[in-house]
Chain A
Amino acid sequence: MKKESFSTYETAWCPGCGNFVILECLKEALEQLGKDPAKVLMAAGIGQAAKTPQYISANAFCGLHGRALPAAVAAKIANENLTVIVDTGDGDSYGEGGNHFIHNIRRNVDITHFVHDNQVYGLTKGQASPTSMVGMVTGVQTDGNFNEPLNPMLLAIAAGAGFVARAFTGHKEQLIDIMKQAISYNGYAIVDILQPCVSFNKINTFGWYNKRVYELDESYDCENKAAAMEKTMEFGEKIPLGILYREKKLAYHQKNQVLKTAIPLLERKTDPNVVKKFIKSYI
């Protein structure tokens, strides 16, 4: 029998929630990659999806709403031996945390970002999220949501992300495979994971997604940026799943002069002679 490194704990999610699948697939991906829980850091902000780090046996940083990315990239900068995964929702990632989403793509710190995208706010009970479709009626969008939904995949490619993928909780094998590739990618990798919200999203149900999604096959060239951007705009009758765009890039630690030296930042010590030299330079 295979020895399991990662355990999962009792959750506070609704029965039938897509989060369960994501949690199980994440655990499976980490197992298959042979990761040590003590060397994995799960980071999140606030929301139903953002509780994921609490439910898996790894290091966990559950910080502020929308602010998982800055904390997570800095943790990775501090200790490059950590496998850092931000695992949180669409509101946390694209709404409250939108600014950090854009700028951490530019930074390209070697972390992985899994977005549980159910196109609705769960923990605050059913309001529109940045990816909610036009027409969705909620307790706030009482006349139906009339704001255009954000296209996170297109935005990610446009901002310069080197690993952009979409998955669906109904396609578990593919989800695990994409998760493994994203975690192994050198740089910032984003995976937008479509999932039903059984309590609040009555439009984008499991069946709704299931009818529309299809897996990209080998004929799709994920290294062609223009074609990839066009592919990300396919979201309606058909929704492509898979790695939409992939590009080799230098990650933050390969560009920063201090991190380049391969000594993890947290292991560095300040040389008193260097301090003395700096002080003397003012005399």
Chain B
Amino acid sequence: MYNLLIGGAAGQGIDTTVAILEKLLKQSGYNVFTVRDFMSRVRGGHNFSLLRFGTEPIYSHSDSLDGIVALDEETIKEHKEQLKANGFILCDRKIPSSNSHVVSLGMDAMAKTLGNPRVSGSIAVGAVLKLFGESLDGLESVLGSVVKPQYLASNIKAVQQGYAAVENRFPHLQGKYSDRMLISGSKAVALGAIAAGLRFYAAYPMSPSTPVLETLASYADEAGIVVEQAEDEIAAINMAIGASYAGAMAMTGTSGGGFSLMVEALGLAGMAEIPVVVIDVQRPGPVTGLPTRTEQSDLKFVISASQGEFPRMVIALRNCMDAFNQTMRAFYLAEKYQIPVIILSDQYLGDATHTAEEFKPEQNQRVEPVDEYAEEGEYLRYNYTDSGISPRLIPGTSKHLVVIDSDEHDERGWITESAEVRVRMMDKRMKKLEGLKKELLEPDFIGSDSFDTLLIGWGSTWGPIEEAVRLLNKERQGHFAALVFGDVYPLPEKLLKEKAAQAKRIINVEQNATGQLAGLIREETGICCMESVLKYDGRQISGEEIADRIRKGEVQ
């Protein structure tokens, strides 16, 4: 497995360089996992991407580097300590460096000779391909999918020149993953929503949730979806609820700050029993926090957001497959139970690209069409039922009137202040949780059945935890296992209770300061995590770091 860092200032073309490289590497058979670390600015600063590739499964990043592509001096300064003994630093001749690892190329000068100063990134691509023993097969089609047609020829030449300018260092490893997808978490969410039958998406741009909005917008016309940029997040969720009420499957997306604005309307979806899917792509808070970085600190917020009590479902995404499948499932559950379903993603998962098996939408549960109301007599939108789920009609599609109200209401949807109706209606709504609990998916169990130390995590730390368990078990065979939750609220308890009973030591691994999942588990089951590995510096924890902290006993 190889690990490459490409760094520079914002605006230097890191994204394009990485997009070309990761596609070529995937096509040559590698598994690829790329994370993006960037600052909240349009030009300057220090940004980098970590591109890990190999023939084994890769679900997370690593900080230990085989190579650095430095588009500026800062990149060398920041990352040279991470370089392995045989690693290289590829940079332009203009960058002064006495480092013995440096492979210096006149990339900027070569680019100028090619008549396009912006192709120096492609020269670096060529050099990297050669260093790792890759061929230039499929170059034209990959470049063609990333750069504009008028720049294609100069970019091809640039890659070829970079390729010719260096010697091979690392052997090519033959993987068999060229027929996999290469996709980011946020794009997988967008595809999942489309596959589920999304018809209306409203959102206000906010990092790191914007890629969901932009991806859906790029498919909207062809897929028959209306994507609307709302004036604020309050409008966004109220629009989604209005569209859903009127029969268009709807979703909205944001990050923590925008979710804060959506909170009242979340209660409206609960009270009026209107299905809606909301994705919160988390970033570090409070308030503006670290806008382009990652954290898992909205869990306790979203499970209790909005005044009063109403049923909801919260699903955390663990990887790209989850991003697609669980987004489809979110629509299925929202429509079936007529509730808000919240998807928790984060910057790490949302922006990271990785190779995944081709998505199979037909294997997921499908949203069932809203029934015709065939009963005799008056239609009651909030009819008391055993399941708590009342017959839902779409206004304008039958002779019946569909009346919803944010006030407490009777079966017809009319405002009431009756104590008796209030209790019956609350019970009806909350009853939906019973059905929902039967649909919960137990957490992923990773590691050895004979474990004594159990790691517990949720969402995007799934990849790092998987790697940590593997690393730890290599040293002390059979001692480690992990449970990583996807469904977090309501909390699935069966496997948790079973594994917790076996564990001598339980450690929660979370990307937040207070151990929010551990708190939820304690509240729901009484099970206590004795130790914690927590990280809240805005940078995703790696498998190596988790293993290291557990090894050294650096736990809270």
The judgment on whether A and B are partners is yes
Residues of the B chain whose Cβ atoms lie less than 8 Å from the Cβ of A82: 246, 395-396
> Which residues, 183 to 234 on A, are CB-close (under 8 Å) to B?
none
Q: B223-231, B496-504, B532-540: which lies at the A interface?
A: B223-231
Known contacts A62-B404, A63-B238, A283-B181, A77 near B243 by CB under 8 Å: yes
> Which residues, 230 to 283 on A, are CB-close (under 8 Å) to B?
256-259, 263, 265-266, 268-272, 274-276, 278-280, 282-283
Most buried by B among A54, A274, A276, A282: A282
B183 touches A77 (CB 8 A): no
Known contacts A41-B396, A270-B224, A74 near B181 by CB under 8 Å: no
Nearest Cβ in chain B — how far from A225, in angstroms? 24
A270 touches B405 (CB 8 A): no
B405 touches A54 (CB 8 A): yes
B167 on interface, CB distance cutoff 8 Å: no
Residues of the B chain whose Cβ atoms lie less than 8 Å from the Cβ of A73: 239, 242
Known contacts A58-B401, A275-B194, A74 near B359 by CB under 8 Å: no
Partner of B199, one of A70, A78, A282: A78
Residues of the B chain whose Cβ atoms lie less than 8 Å from the Cβ of A58: 401
Partner of A61, one of B197, B225, B242, B415: B242
Residues of the B chain whose Cβ atoms lie less than 8 Å from the Cβ of A256: 226
Closest to A58 in B: B401
**Chain B 31-54 interface mask (CB, 8 Å, partner A; 1/0):** 000000000000000000000000
A75 touches B243 (CB 8 A): yes
B200 touches A37 (CB 8 A): no
Known contacts A74-B202, A258-B221, A60 near B401 by CB under 8 Å: yes
Residues of the A chain whose Cβ atoms lie less than 8 Å from the Cβ of B243: 74-75, 77-78, 265
Residues of the A chain whose Cβ atoms lie less than 8 Å from the Cβ of B405: 54, 60, 62
Known contacts A81-B396, A99-B232, A64 near B406 by CB under 8 Å: yes
Nearest Cβ in chain B — how far from A84, in angstroms? 9
A70 touches B235 (CB 8 A): yes
Bound Cα distance from A58 to B362, whole angstroms: 39
A72 touches B242 (CB 8 A): yes
Known contacts A71-B245, A103-B231, A265-B248, A61 near B219 by CB under 8 Å: no
Bound Cα distance from A82 to B223, whole angstroms: 23
Q: B98-106, B264-272, B433-441: which lies at the A interface?
A: B264-272
Bound Cα distance from A278 to B216, whole angstroms: 11
Known contacts A59-B396, A275-B195, A64 near B268 by CB under 8 Å: yes
Bound Cα distance from A73 to B202, whole angstroms: 12
Bound Cα distance from A39 to B414, whole angstroms: 19
A67 on interface, CB distance cutoff 8 Å: yes
Residues of the A chain whose Cβ atoms lie less than 8 Å from the Cβ of B242: 43, 61, 63, 70-75, 78
B200 touches A77 (CB 8 A): yes
A67 touches B224 (CB 8 A): no
A138 on interface, CB distance cutoff 8 Å: no
Residues of the B chain whose Cβ atoms lie less than 8 Å from the Cβ of A76: 246
A54 touches B414 (CB 8 A): yes
B195 touches A78 (CB 8 A): no
A54 touches B223 (CB 8 A): no
Bound Cα distance from A257 to B405, whole angstroms: 32
B91 on interface, CB distance cutoff 8 Å: no
**Chain B 196-232 interface mask (CB, 8 Å, partner A; 1/0):** 0111101000000000000000011111111010111
Known contacts A38-B398, A57-B401, A282-B181, A75 near B246 by CB under 8 Å: yes
Nearest Cβ in chain B — how far from A268, in angstroms? 4
A275 touches B221 (CB 8 A): no
A79 on interface, CB distance cutoff 8 Å: yes
Nearest Cβ in chain A — how far from B385, in angstroms? 21
B179 on interface, CB distance cutoff 8 Å: yes
**Chain B 325-354 interface mask (CB, 8 Å, partner A; 1/0):** 000000000000000000000000000000
A180 on interface, CB distance cutoff 8 Å: no
B194 touches A270 (CB 8 A): yes
Residues of the A chain whose Cβ atoms lie less than 8 Å from the Cβ of B179: 283
Closest to B239 in A: A74
Closest to A267 in B: B247
A71 touches B406 (CB 8 A): no
> Which residues, 145 to 203 on A, are CB-close (under 8 Å) to B?
none
Nearest Cβ in chain A — how far from B183, in angstroms? 5
A51 on interface, CB distance cutoff 8 Å: yes
Known contacts A62-B404, A77-B248, A78-B199, A279 near B359 by CB under 8 Å: yes
Bound Cα distance from A164 to B133, whole angstroms: 70
Known contacts A77-B226, A82-B246, A100 near B235 by CB under 8 Å: yes
A99 touches B231 (CB 8 A): yes
B407 touches A62 (CB 8 A): yes
> Which residues, 487 to 521 on B, are CB-close (under 8 Å) to A?
none
Partner of B200, one of A51, A60, A61, A74: A74
Bound Cα distance from A102 to B68, whole angstroms: 50
**Chain B 158-194 interface mask (CB, 8 Å, partner A; 1/0):** 0000000000000000000001111100010001001
Other than the known A39-B396, A41-B396, what 9 A-B pairs have Cβ atoms closer than 8 Å? A58-B401, A63-B241, A63-B272, A71-B245, A74-B202, A78-B242, A265-B226, A276-B361, A283-B180
> Interface of B with A (CB < 8 Å)?
179-183, 187, 191, 194-195, 197-200, 202, 219-226, 228, 230-232, 234-236, 238-248, 250, 264-265, 268, 272, 358-359, 361-362, 394-407, 413-415
> Interface of A with B (CB < 8 Å)?
37-39, 41, 43, 46, 51, 53-54, 57-64, 67, 69-79, 81-82, 99-100, 102-103, 107, 256-259, 263, 265-266, 268-272, 274-276, 278-280, 282-283
Ordered by A's residue number, 9 sampled pairs between the chains whose C-beta atoms are within 8 Å are A38-B399, A46-B406, A59-B402, A71-B242, A78-B247, A79-B395, A256-B226, A258-B225, A265-B199
Closest 9 CB pairs of A and B: A71-B242, A266-B247, A74-B242, A78-B248, A78-B246, A75-B246, A59-B395, A103-B231, A74-B239
